[in-house]
Amino acid sequence: MDLNKPNKHNDIPYEIRMKYIIRDYMKMFDSMDKLANYTKSLEKYIDALKEDLAKRKIVNQRQSENLVETRRKCKRLQATIDYLQEQLAKYESTDNPDANNSKNQ
């Protein structure tokens, strides 16, 4: 490089160029530090969302299990009701005097 040849760096003294380079480096370093902090906060937020999702899955699973259990109980109750209605129909259809009296009342 020919120092006598004019270029944009020869017009600016070395100390001033270094001052600007260091200042720009510090700005870039500061912005990189801010980005690193932002990335860490996003990672924490994502972890919190994952935990929340896991909790919701557990709650949904429990609700699903409760729904299945409720349906099972309803089926048993309906079967019991059907059985009792059949027994009542049989009882009423027999020539049982008590059944005939209960119908008339």
Structure token digits, residue 41: 């906060």
Bigger pLDDT: 102 vs 49: 49
Contact 10, 3 (CB under 8 A): yes
**How much is the mean pLDDT over the chain?**
85
pLDDT at 97 (0 to 100): 60
Structural domain that includes position 64: 14-104
Is 33 among the domain residues?
A: yes
The model's pTM:
0.49
Q: How far apart are CA 36 and CA 78, in angstroms?
A: 62
Question: How many structural domains are present in the chain?
Answer: 1
Quick: pLDDT tens for 28-66: 999 999 999 999 999 999 999 999 999 999 999 999 999
Quick: pLDDT tens for 78-87: 999 999 999 9
Confidence of residue 9 (pLDDT cuts 50, 70, 90): low
Q: How far apart are CA 70 and CA 81, in angstroms?
A: 16
Bigger pLDDT: 102 vs 86: 86
